[in-house]
Amino acid sequence: PGSTQNWQSVPSQDFTTSCSGGSGNPRLIEKTLIREITFCERIGKGRYGEVWRGRWRAGGQVAVKVFSNREESSWWHEAEMYQSYWLRHENILSFIGADQRDCVANMEYYLVLNYHPRGSLYDFLHDAQLTVQEALRIILSLSAGLDYLHTEIRSSVAKPSIAHRDLKSKNILIKSAGQGSQCCIADFGLAARSDFFDNLPDKKQFHFQVGTRRYMAPEILDSSINLSSFQSLRQADIYMFGLVAWEIGQRVSPGSEPYQYPFQHDVPCDPTVEEMSAVVVEQGKRPPIPESWSEHPTLVELSRITSECWDKDPTTRLPSLRIRKDLMRLLDSLLRIRDSGCYFTDTSDQGFQSW
Ligand code: ADP
Ligand code: MG
Ligand code: MG
């Protein structure tokens, strides 16, 4: 694809300082970085390639996303997204570098990323039992990452608005669990930039029906999306955010309820656009809000937020900043209530204690 000349090369000893904390320049250490890494085990497999846990020679673990020859353009797109200054935020997966290597007759392409041992949100939720506070913190951190992506910055360090377009629990990683629960957004293979989008001569050529069909917003499923504005791509992200927030919320005191992914009982595995449309567009179905949410003020609010996120009218969905602020306010009041102890004294019901 394009040239890599303007990707900054740095000596490998800079690695440990440059990759920590997700700030500073993204680095490309072309044709040296990957040789410094020992592949340990495969930790993930997406639609396109494999993700490995690796050990960097100087110590420390990394995740390596491997693309084959055929996926060179996906590698290029994702690397370009990460290598800009834009994707530097604590709730966005930290990028270390990109590389490529000749592997017997074929080229292989790599993205080296911070490794998160807890894996994807999807895997984490399967046997998670969360407190309201933990769930809220994960959703809030997700909204912070999404708000950062969506926000256009027009200062000396400009940043376009970015739509992720494939938000789902498998593309979100758990950074920490428990009291300080946080996640980060990963997999920028389909992300779109507002500056490129706005300059497209013919928006009709824009390939909007991409991503994971199970999470596709109704206007993408039925092609009614308004392509005159980039805002529409952000609104589709918000719909997906609503589904993920529901996935997280359902793990609050789940009892013996098994984890469910969105529309698990409505459509088969790997549904077609038609199968999704029948449920999401024609029947207007959305995931069921657990009855237990009505018993806790924070979850009542969460149910309002998720419903406003997955509204069928994209223009009435909440913008990411509003979501983040609402969730921050919710966390604040949750902590105040907890500190004043009123839940624990007002009820003898054992439910609240564990919440
Ligand atoms: P694809 O584009 O092929 O879908 P992803 O980037 O979504 O690839 O990664 C696939 C899976 O690999 C994720 O769902 C997750 O389970 C795992 N994974 C990806 N990156 C990391 C990471 N940095 N740390 C830990 N696990 C990861
Ligand atoms: Mg993925
Ligand atoms: Mg991908």
What residues have a C-beta under 5 A from ligand 2, the ion? 46, 171, 187
Looking at residue 346, its pLDDT comes to 38
Tokens of 329: 């306010």
Q: Which of the residue ranges 90-94, 203-207, 249-253, 340-344 has the most confident prediction, judged by mean pLDDT? A: 90-94
Residue 342 is predicted with a pLDDT of: 61
Q: Is the ipTM of this complex over 0.90?
A: yes
pLDDT for position 15? 31
Pocket test residue of 39, 40, 43 for ligand 1, highest count of atoms within 8 A of CB: 43
- Mean pLDDT over 22-27 rounds to 39
Report CA(12)–ligand 2 centroid distance (Å): 28
**In which order are the strands placed within the sheet that holds 61-67?**
37-45, 50-56, 61-67, 106-114, 95-103
Q: Which of 4-8, 111-115, 125-129 has the lowest mean pLDDT?
A: 4-8
60 Cβ closer than 6 Å to some ligand 1 atom: no
Ligand 2 centre to CA of 13 (Å) is 30
pLDDT bracket for residue 337 (50, 70, 90)? confident
For 199-239, the pLDDT digits (tens) are 999 999 999 999 999 999 999 999 999 999 999 999 999 99
Ligand 3 center–CA 50 separation, angstroms: 10
Mutate to test the pocket of ligand 1, among 70, 78, 173, 175 (most ligand atoms within 8 A of CB): 173
Res. 2: pLDDT tops 50: no
Give the mean pLDDT of 160-177.
97
Q: Is the CB of 92 under 6 A from ligand 1?
A: no
123 is catalytic: no
The dihedrals phi and psi of 40, each to the nearest 5 degrees, come to -105, -60
Residue 309, helix vs strand vs coil: helix
Lowest mean pLDDT among 68-72, 78-82, 119-123, 341-345: 341-345
pLDDT in the model for residue 350: 36
- pLDDT at position 345 over 50: no
Which ligand has the nearest atom to the CA of 172?
1
Q: Whose CA is nearest to atom 11 of ligand 1?
A: 44
Ion ligand 3, residues whose Cβ is below 5 A away: 187, 189
Q: pLDDT by residue (tens digit) across 178-198?
A: 889 999 999 999 999 999 999
| Tens digit of each residue's pLDDT (9 = 90 or more) over 271-307 | 999 999 999 999 999 999 999 999 999 999 999 999 9
- Give the pLDDT score at 30: 55
Weakest-pLDDT range from 61-75, 261-275, 318-332: 61-75
**CA of 186, closest atom in ligand 1:** 6
Q: Give the pLDDT band of residue 253 (cuts 50, 70, 90).
A: confident
**If you average pLDDT over residues 305-310, what whole number do you get?**
98
What pLDDT, on a 0 to 100 scale, did the predictor assign at position 267? 98
pLDDT at 3 over 70: no
pLDDT for residue 41 is more than 70: yes
pLDDT, greater one: 32 or 123: 123
Q: Could you tell me which residues come within 8 angstroms of residue 29 by beta carbon, excluding any fewer than 6 positions away?
A: 9, 10, 12, 15, 97, 99
Which one of the listed residues 166, 187, 311, 326 is annotated catalytic? 166
Evaluate whether 25 touches 18 at the Cβ level (below 8 Å): yes
Which residue of 120, 167, 244 sits with most ligand 1 atoms within 8 Å of its CB, as the best mutation to test the pocket? Answer: 120
How does the average pLDDT of the chain come out, rounded? Answer: 87
Task: Tell whether the model's pLDDT for residue 27 goes beyond 70.
Answer: no
DSSP, res 69: G
* Confidence band of 24 (pLDDT split at 50, 70, 90): very low
Q: What is the DSSP string of 11-47?
A: -GGGHHHHHGGG-S-----TTTTGGGEEEEEEEEE-S
Local structure of 179: helix, strand or coil: helix
DSSP label at 257?
P
- What mean pLDDT comes out for the span 249-274? 93
Q: Ligand 1: does its nearest atom lie under 6 Å from the Cβ of 164? A: no
Phi-psi region of 183 (alpha: psi -120 to 50; beta: other; left: phi over 0): beta
The answer to whether the CB of 76 is under 6 A from ligand 1 is no
Question: What's the gap in Å between 131 CA and the centre of ligand 1?
Answer: 26
Residue 31: per-residue pLDDT: 65
DSSP state of 244: H
Q: Is 193 in the pocket of ligand 1 (CB under 6 A)?
A: no
Ligand 3 centroid to residue 74 C-alpha, Å? 8
